[in-house]
């Protein structure tokens, strides 16, 4: 379509009127959600029970004068808050709150002349001068238009541009989507034609703004891990309080020293506090986000990492997510033959005319994706031939109309005695133009239907010749029907699948993840794409059918449907909520504004980074920076790895505290002096902390991690055999340490030597527990040959520290140690071997503990 001059006969606003309306309605922009300030993020962290326990313990130590211990604990608090705040602020900076999708400048009619103004200054009543390639600045009703088509995929999910026709300011408002509407919508792109529209809604009142409003009202799902961790922390806190009260009462009643009893209780509280848990969670999530970023995935919400590994349903949009979001020609039909077209195939001579006249029926410099596909095919296969006519000029054109879905261009060629006419449009319209016999028309209609059933967008092409007419006043036929057209053929166009998407979906199926396609496309197109993807597409549920179902009926249908077609944004949100109501862990991918509410409502929202809109990225938990659906597979793998290693770290942390608690209580029960002091506990914590947060995080995934089903949505972090194995491993380490304690006391060693022997046995037992929790089965069965570089540093640091505190006089005095160092280290060697063997026995007897 040649650019047309704007019709200045319409009365636009004056500058003064526009300023008054701007003051009344505000700027044409979507108000972004308020960004969280630093103190808001810190306050959210500090409200967690685990942090409250840490702070309380630090305050108690300050009151007791143990400044070093208090500073150590409070240092943990500061470090964890700093890590959390840093990650949150980094994500907020990378993805700003909801941006204005209408940021391009707009051309309006004001004071009787065309003006370019900032899109945010457009007001209701303004006249927008619209041309091909424009991004619409605000919702508007069309007062006039010429061959106007708009890409509304960001609102509807429909990849094919929709046709527009003129209306009036009194036209009844309609939802986006569908042909022959008199409305254009903010943020959509005009792919063909021109027109004038009167602004009806701006900012939050626009169709895009209404989606943004529903996005603000949508509640994000809570992470199952966050719920489970909170429950675990509360239980550990109850156990710690109960043990402390019990110890204080026993000590006080048996010895009569209540102040010392209180101090013993506080020491026990410090040994049972779960201070590793916030470290584990923060480090695992932060390092998990870093690992995922190496696969071009940005993490906006850290708890999404582990939840993705538990995903059971992946709801995905088609356009721009599974497909490349551009059209290509896949099939050509002419003279009773069909040609399959590949990206690098040559074009045989019989089909040259079809592509030639398809290009002649298109714009010279097209914006429409289907016309661009025609030009690309012609430039690749017909370049240098007589079938490309770059020197020809359009002398007349016939627009597409609701009555006849076809358009024609009349061309004047150099040295041609006649004008060439090229037409393209809906197959039935081209058949009508060519006045084909009934039997021939039925054959072509059947072929077109078969092509459409294959997921193709089908266009018919025709050609004709017109006499030149008078040089000064050529006489053109009034209607296209007055021209004698000849049928040339059919074009089959497709929005191709992304190269790796079929394999990615297959891997999701192998991992037990159900992939569901939710699209605005026709059911026939959706079914064809689903078959190409390898989805079980026996049933399709359309948006119209969905509206007739109650919530209960919809939830009952969901297990049998994997393809949803002609779905509008509100229905996408309803589908996600229904899947969640069925107990599924839902991940939703998308790139358009229409996906944003569903992205936020899902447990995991995954937005496209390149083609995705700002609204979608803001709502999502994860952003695929390279728009590669295959990155989902790597993200799922990493999510499962994070959860597996997190569970191992938690199991180790629970087991490692049992010997600490036991040795803290045993001397009290036996009437002996206390063995463990704050310095000993902190030394042990320096082993437990890095082992939990760094060593286990760096562990490689198991070989079958993507060949097993997702864990149950209600599965506890610790349950059944897994909990039993962890507890019994801790008891095994306690039994070894207690045995050395009893032996040392019976052998008559002094208090400081006994303390050195038992402490060394506990350190050695911790190392054995690290090895014992590396795998889900026996301690050396799966990871024995896999190197974890962190392990050597933990072993080196632990052994070095132990040797120093046993041999350096100043440290020996600080830790209240004495005795022969070789003897003590020999006890440690015996303890590590004994604990490791008992751990292996526990796993063999109790079973696979996970």
Residue-wise pLDDT for 179-231, tens only, equals 888 999 988 888 788 899 999 998 888 887 776 665 555 554 455 566 666 67
Identify any residues that bridge with 329 across adjacent strands, giving them in sequence order.
Answer: 493
Q: 183-184 and 106-110: which strand pairing?
A: unpaired
DSSP string, 570-582: HHHHHHHHHHHHT
For the question of whether the overall pTM of this predicted structure is more than 0.75, the answer is: no
Give CA torsion, residues 49, 50, 51, 56, to 10 deg. Answer: 80
Lowest mean pLDDT among 200-209, 356-365, 601-610, 681-690: 681-690
461 contacts 353 by C-beta, under 8 angstroms: no
CA 163 to chain centre: 32
b/e map of 799-817 (b: 16 or more CB within 10 Å)?
eeebeebbeeeeebeebeb
- Distance, in Å, from the CA atom of 645 to the CA atom of 759, rounded to the nearest integer, reads 28
In what helix (H) or strand (E) does residue 541 lie, and over which residues does it extend? Answer: strand 540-542
Distances, alpha carbon 227 to alpha carbons 230, 233, 307, 459, 717, in Å: 5, 10, 11, 54, 10
> How far is the CA of 542 from the CAs of 128, 175, 581, in angstroms?
35, 17, 20
The tens digit of pLDDT for each residue in 244-289 reads 888 778 877 887 776 666 666 766 776 666 566 666 776 777 777 8
For residue 331, pLDDT over 90 is answered with: yes
Query: Any idea what the Cα angle at residue 149 is, between residues 145 and 154, rounded to 5°?
Result: 130
Higher-pLDDT residue of 648, 614: 648
**Pairwise CA distance, residues 729 & 764, whole Å:** 13
Q: In whole angstroms, what is the distance from residue 171 CA to residue 178 CA?
A: 16
Which of 493, 471, 343 lies closest to 419 in space, CA to CA?
A: 471
Beta bridge partners of 748: none
Residue written as token pair 């409070």:
74
- In SS3 terms, 46-90 reads as HCCHHHHHHHHHHHHHHHHCCHHHHHHHHHHHHHHHHHHHHHHHH
pLDDT tens, position by position, 450-506: 998 888 889 999 999 987 654 455 678 888 988 999 999 999 998 888 888 888 888
Q: How many angstroms separate the CA atoms of 241 and 265, rounded?
A: 9
Question: How far is C-alpha 406 from the geometric centre of its chain's CA atoms?
Answer: 41
Rg (CA), the chain: 36
Half-sphere exposure (CA, 13 Å, Cβ side) for 407? 22
Mean pLDDT of 527-544: 85
- pLDDT for position 463: 95
Angle at 190 between CA 185 and CA 191, to 5 degrees: 145
Beta bridge partners of 605: 588
Please check the confidence at residue 95 and state whether its pLDDT lies above 50: no
Kindly give, in sequence order, each residue whose CB lies less than 8 Å from that of residue 78, ignoring residues fewer than 6 positions away. Answer: none
CB neighbour list of residue 198: distance below 8 Å, 6 or more residues apart: 125, 126, 127, 128, 140, 141, 143, 169
**For residue 519, what pLDDT is reported?**
82
Contacts of 255 (CB under 8 A, 6+ apart): 261, 671
* pLDDT for 412: 84
User: pLDDT per residue over 377-412, tens digit each?
Assistant: 999 999 888 888 888 988 888 988 777 889 999 998
Confidence of residue 94 (pLDDT cuts 50, 70, 90): very low
Phi, psi values for residue 129, rounded to 5°: -95, 110
**Rounded Cα gap, residues 352 and 371, in angstroms:** 16
Highest mean pLDDT range out of 116-120, 644-648, 738-742?
A: 738-742
607 close to 599: Cβ distance less than 8 angstroms:
yes
Angle made by CA atoms 290, 293, 295, in degrees to the nearest 5: 130
């Amino acid at each position: 379509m040649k650019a047309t001059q704007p019709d200045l006969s319409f009365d636009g606003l004056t500058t003064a009127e526009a300023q008054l309306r701007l003051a009344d309605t505000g700027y044409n922009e979507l108000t972004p959600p308020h960004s969280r300030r630093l103190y808001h993020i810190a306050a959210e962290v500090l409200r967690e029970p685990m942090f409250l326990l840490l702070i309380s313990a630090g305050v108690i130590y300050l009151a007791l004068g143990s400044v070093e211990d208090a500073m150590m604990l409070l240092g943990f608090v500061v470090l964890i808050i700093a890590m959390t705040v840093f990650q949150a602020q980094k994500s907020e900076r990378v993805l700003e709150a909801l941006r204005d999708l209408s940021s391009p400048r707009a051309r309006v009619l004001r004071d009787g002349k065309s003006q370019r103004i900032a899109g945010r200054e457009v007001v209701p009543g303004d006249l927008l001068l619209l041309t091909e390639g424009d991004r619409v600045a605000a919702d508007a009703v069309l007062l006039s238009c010429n061959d106007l088509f708009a890409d509304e995929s960001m609102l509807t999910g429909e990849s094919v541009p929709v046709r527009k026709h003129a209306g009036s300011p009194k036209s009844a408002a309609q939802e986006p989507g569908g042909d022959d509407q008199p409305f254009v919508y903010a943020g959509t792109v005009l792919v063909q034609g021109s027109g004038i529209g009167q602004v009806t809604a701006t900012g939050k009142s626009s169709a895009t703004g209404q989606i943004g409003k529903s996005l603000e009202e949508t509640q994000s799902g809570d992470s199952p891990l966050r719920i489970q961790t909170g429950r675990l922390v509360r239980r550990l806190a109850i156990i710690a309080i109960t043990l402390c009260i019990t110890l204080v009462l026993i000590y006080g009643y048996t010895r009569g020293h209540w102040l010392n009893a209180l101090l013993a209780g506080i020491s026990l509280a410090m040994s049972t506090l779960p201070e590793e848990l916030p470290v584990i969670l923060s480090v695992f999530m932060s390092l998990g986000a870093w690992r995922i970023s190496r696969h071009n995935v940005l993490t906006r919400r850290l708890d999404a990492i582990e939840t993705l590994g538990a995903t059971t349903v992946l709801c995905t949009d088609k356009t721009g997510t599974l497909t490349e979001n551009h059209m290509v020609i896949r099939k050509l039909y002419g003279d009773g033959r069909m040609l399959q077209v590949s990206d690098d195939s040559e074009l045989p001579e019989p089909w040259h005319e079809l592509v030639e006249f398809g290009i002649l029926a298109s714009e010279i410099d097209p914006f429409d994706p289907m016309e661009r596909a025609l030009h690309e095919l012609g430039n690749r296969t017909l370049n240098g031939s007589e079938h490309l006519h770059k020197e020809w000029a359009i002398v007349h054109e016939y627009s597409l109309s609701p009555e006849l879905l076809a358009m024609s261009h009349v061309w004047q060629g150099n040295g041609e005695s006649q004008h060439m006419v090229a037409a393209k449009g809906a197959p039935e319209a081209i058949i009508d133009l060519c006045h084909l016999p009934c039997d021939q028309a039925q054959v072509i209609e059947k072929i077109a239907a078969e092509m459409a059933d294959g997921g193709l967008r089908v266009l018919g092409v025709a050609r004709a010749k017109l006499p030149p007419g008078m040089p000064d006043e050529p006489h053109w036929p009034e209607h296209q029907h007055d021209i004698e057209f000849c049928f040339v053929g059919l074009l089959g166009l497709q929005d191709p699948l992304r190269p790796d998407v079929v394999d990615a979906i297959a891997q999701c199926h192998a991992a037990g993840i159900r992939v569901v396609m939710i699209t605005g496309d026709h059911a026939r197109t959706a079914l064809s794409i689903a078959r190409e993807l390898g989805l079980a597409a026996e049933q399709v549920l359309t948006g119209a059918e969905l509206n007739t179902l109650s919530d209960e009926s919809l939830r009952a249908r969901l297990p049998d449907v994997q393809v949803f077609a002609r779905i509008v944004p509100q229905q996408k949100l309803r589908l996600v909520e229904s899947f969640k109501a069925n107990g599924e862990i839902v991940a939703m991918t998308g790139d358009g504004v229409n996906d944003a509410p569903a992205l936020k409502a899902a447990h995991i929202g995954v937005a496209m980074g390149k083609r995705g809109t700002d609204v979608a990225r803001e709502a999502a938990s994860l952003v695929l920076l390279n728009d590669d659906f295959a990155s989902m597979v790597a993200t799922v793998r990493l999510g499962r790895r994070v959860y597996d290693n997190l569970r191992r770290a938690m199991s180790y942390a629970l087991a490692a505290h049992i010997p600490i608690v036991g040795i803290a209580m045993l001397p009290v029960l036996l009437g002996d002096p206390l063995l463990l002091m704050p310095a000993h506990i902190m030394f042990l914590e320096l082993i437990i902390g890095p082992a939990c947060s760094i060593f286990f995080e760096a562990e490689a995934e198991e070989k079958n991690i993507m060949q097993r089903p997702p864990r149950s949505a209600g599965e506890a972090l610790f349950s059944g055999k897994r909990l039993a194995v962890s507890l019994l491993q801790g008891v095994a380490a306690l039994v070894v340490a207690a045995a050395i304690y009893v032996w040392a006391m019976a052998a008559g060693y002094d208090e400081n030597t006994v303390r050195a022997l038992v402490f060394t046995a506990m350190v050695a037992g911790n190392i054995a527990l690290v090895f014992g929790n590396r795998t889900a089965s026996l301690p050396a069965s799966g990871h024995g040959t896999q190197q974890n570089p962190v392990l050597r540093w933990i072993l080196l640091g632990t052994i070095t520290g132990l040797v120093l505190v046993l041999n350096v006089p100043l440290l020996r005095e600080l830790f209240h140690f004495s005795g022969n160092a070789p003897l003590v280290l020999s006890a440690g060697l015996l303890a590590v071997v004994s604990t490791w063997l008992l751990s292996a026995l526990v796993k063999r007897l109790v079973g696979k503990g996970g």
